[in-house]
C-alpha cells in the first residue's frame, strides 16, 4: 500500500499508514491500533507502540458521514488541521500538537492526549475542574478576538475568510441547529411525553421562530471571527489543571458568539443532568454551585479577557473609543445568548442529541430536564438583546424554571 489514492481506512490500514508515512515509531515497532472515534462524522485511530506505549492519533475523513452515510466534503480535515495550528499559535497549550496533514488520505496526525478525558462524560460523572472556566475563556478570547479585523489586518482577515469557507459543515449546522427543531420532522425523535410540549413551545411559537430566523441570518452572514464552530463539551478534553480543545472541523468565519454560546449551553446540559439525577441534597447543591460558578465565569471572564485582548492588540482605530470597544464585546454576548438558546433546543428537539440529557434513564426526570432547558433557551433567545451581559443572568433563569416546573 502506498496511500496515493484516498480510501476509507480501517485499523489495519492505520497501522500500515503509521509504518509507511510517519517517522513517529522506530522501524520494526510492534504496533497496535484502536478506532476510538465516538463522534458522528470521522474515524479516529490511536496507533501505539506495544513496547514503549508511545502513541499517536490519526484522524481520518471519509467521503461519507460516519453515521448517516451522506456524502460530505473531506476539506473539513484540511480546515481542522490548519485551524488547530492557528489556534495553537494564538492560544498556546490549549490544543493538541499537529504532527502532519495528508491531503490525499485526509489524515490529520496529532498528539495523543492520553491523560485527558472527554469533558462531557466527566461532567456526567459530576467531576469538577478548577481551571476550566479560566482556560476556556482564555482560549476563546484569544482565538476569537485575535481573528477579527479589529485585530488582524482587514486584507489578511479576508484571506482567512476565503481559506476557511466551509460550506458542507455550515450546511449541517444551518439544518440541524437553525431549522429542523422548529418544524415537524420524524428525524427529530423527540422524547416520548414531550412531543406536545415541543410542538407548543417551539413549532407553534411564531415569535420565537422569527428570532431564530434572525439568528440563522447572523450565522450565515456575520464573518466576524475564525470560530471553532462546534465547541460543545464533547470537543473539550480535560485533566485537573489543564484544558484542550479538539475537533475544529466546523470552523469558519462566523459570529464570535457562536463558540461562547455553545460552551454555555453545554454546561447547562450538565447542570440539568445534575439537577434531576443527583439524589443526595448536599452533593447536589455543591455540584450545581460549581456548575453555576462555571456558567457565570464563561460570560464574565470572556467579557474581561476579550476587552483586554482588544486593548492590547486592536489595530482598528475606533477600538480606542471605550464606548465602541464595550459595544463590540456586548454585541458578542448578545449573539452568544441567542446561540446558547439554539444549542439547548436543537440537542433536545433536533436530530443530534447529547448524552447528558439522552442518557437520563428515568423518563419523568428526563422530561423535566428537557423542559428546563427549552424554557430557559427561549428566554436566552428572545431577551438576548436586553439581557445576558452578565453570567448570573443565565443561572437566574435556570433556577427560576427549576423552581417552577
Write out the residues near Mg ion by the rule CB under 5 A. Answer: 39, 247
C-alpha cell at 62: 471519509
Alpha helices, H only, 350-404: 355-358, 363-382, 391-404
> Which entry of Mg ion, ligand SR1, none binds 40, CB below 5 to 8 A by partner kind?
ligand SR1
Q: Kindly state the smallest distance separating residue 72's Cβ from ligand SR1, in Å.
A: 8
Q: Which of 14, 57, 107, 172 is in the footprint of ligand SR1 by CB under 6 A?
A: 172
Helix, strand, coil abundance in the chain, percent, nearest 5: 55, 10, 30
Q: Which is nearer to Mg ion, 158 or 358 (CB)?
A: 358
> CA neighbours within 13 Å on the CB side: how many for 285?
2
Q: Distances from the Cα of 48 to the Cαs of 34, 53, 103, 111, in angstroms?
A: 9, 6, 23, 12
Q: Kindly state the smallest distance separating residue 238's Cβ from Mg ion, in Å.
A: 16
Backbone angles phi and psi of 95, in degrees to 5: -135, 160
Alpha helices, H only, 141-201: 154-163, 167-176, 195-198
Backbone angles phi and psi of 113, in degrees to 5: -90, 65
Q: Which of the ranges 34-42, 291-299, 314-322, 393-401 carries the binding residues for ligand SR1, by CB under 6 A? A: 34-42
Ranked by CB distance to Mg ion, the top (closest) residue is: 247
Q: Which of 32, 40, 320, 359 is in the footprint of ligand SR1 by CB under 6 A?
A: 40
> Which entry of Mg ion, ligand SR1, none binds 146, CB below 5 to 8 A by partner kind?
none
Binding to ligand SR1 by CB under 6 A, coded x per residue (else -) over 316-355, reads ------------------------------------x---
Q: Kindly state the smallest distance separating residue 39's Cβ from Mg ion, in Å.
A: 5
For residues 380 and 397, the answer to whether their CB atoms sit within 8 Å is yes
Calpha distance 57→34 (Å, rounded):
10
Q: State yes or no: residue 170 binds ligand SR1 (CB under 6 A).
A: no
Q: Which is nearer to ligand SR1, 65 or 278 (CB)?
A: 65
Residues forming contacts to ligand SR1 in the complex (CB under 6 A) are: 39-41, 65, 172-173, 176, 230, 352
Amino acid at each position: 500500500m502506498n496511500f496515493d489514492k484516498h480510501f476509507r481506512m480501517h485499523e489495519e490500514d492505520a497501522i500500515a499508514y503509521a509504518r509507511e508515512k510517519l517517522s513517529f515509531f522506530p522501524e520494526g515497532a510492534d504496533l497496535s491500533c484502536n478506532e476510538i472515534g465516538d463522534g458522528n462524522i470521522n474515524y479516529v485511530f490511536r496507533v501505539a507502540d506495544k513496547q514503549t506505549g508511545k502513541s499517536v492519533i490519526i484522524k481520518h475523513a471519509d467521503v461519507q458521514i460516519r453515521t448517516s452515510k451522506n456524502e460530505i466534503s473531506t476539506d473539513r480535515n484540511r480546515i481542522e488541521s490548519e485551524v488547530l495550528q492557528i489556534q495553537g499559535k494564538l492560544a498556546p497549550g490549549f490544543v493538541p500538537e499537529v504532527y502532519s496533514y495528508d491531503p490525499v488520505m485526509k489524515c490529520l496526525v496529532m498528539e495523543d492526549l492520553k491523560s485527558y478525558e472527554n469533558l462531557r462524560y466527566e461532567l456526567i460523572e459530576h467531576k469538577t475542574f478548577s481551571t476550566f472556566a479560566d482556560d476556556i475563556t482564555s482560549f476563546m478570547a484569544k482565538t476569537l478576538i485575535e481573528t477579527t479585523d479589529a485585530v488582524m489586518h482587514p486584507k489578511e482577515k479576508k484571506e482567512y475568510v476565503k481559506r476557511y469557507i466551509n460550506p458542507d459543515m455550515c450546511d449541517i449546522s444551518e439544518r440541524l441547529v437553525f431549522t429542523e427543531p422548529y418544524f415537524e420532522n420524524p428525524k427529530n425523535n423527540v422524547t416520548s411525553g414531550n412531543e406536545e410540549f415541543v410542538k407548543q413551545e417551539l413549532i407553534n411559537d411564531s415569535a420565537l421562530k422569527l428570532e431564530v430566523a434572525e439568528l440563522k441570518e447572523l450565522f450565515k452572514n456575520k464573518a466576524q471571527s475564525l470560530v471553532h464552530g462546534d465547541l460543545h463539551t464533547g470537543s473539550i478534553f480535560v485533566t485537573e489543571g489543564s484544558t484542550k480543545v479538539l475537533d475544529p472541523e466546523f470552523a469558519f468565519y462566523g459570529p464570535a458568539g457562536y463558540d461562547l454560546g455553545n460552551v454555555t449551553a453545554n454546561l447547562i446540559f450538565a447542570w440539568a443532568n445534575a439537577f434531576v439525577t443527583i439524589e443526595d441534597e448536599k452533593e447536589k447543591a455543591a455540584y450545581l454551585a460549581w456548575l453555576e460558578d462555571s456558567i457565570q465565569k464563561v460570560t464574565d471572564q470572556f467579557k474581561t479577557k476579550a476587552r483586554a485582548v482588544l486593548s492590547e492588540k486592536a489595530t482598528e482605530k475606533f477600538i480606542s473609543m471605550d464606548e465602541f470597544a464595550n459595544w463590540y464585546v456586548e454585541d458578542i454576548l448578545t449573539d452568544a445568548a441567542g446561540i446558547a438558546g439554539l444549542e439547548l433546543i436543537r440537542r433536545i428537539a433536533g436530530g443530534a442529541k447529547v448524552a447528558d440529557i439522552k442518557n437520563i434513564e428515568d423518563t419523568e426526570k428526563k422530561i423535566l430536564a428537557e423542559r428546563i432547558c427549552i424554557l430557559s433557551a427561549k428566554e436566552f433567545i428572545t431577551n438576548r438583546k436586553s439581557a445576558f451581559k452578565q453570567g448570573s443572568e443565565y443561572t437566574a433563569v435556570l433556577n427560576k424554571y427549576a423552581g417552577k416546573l
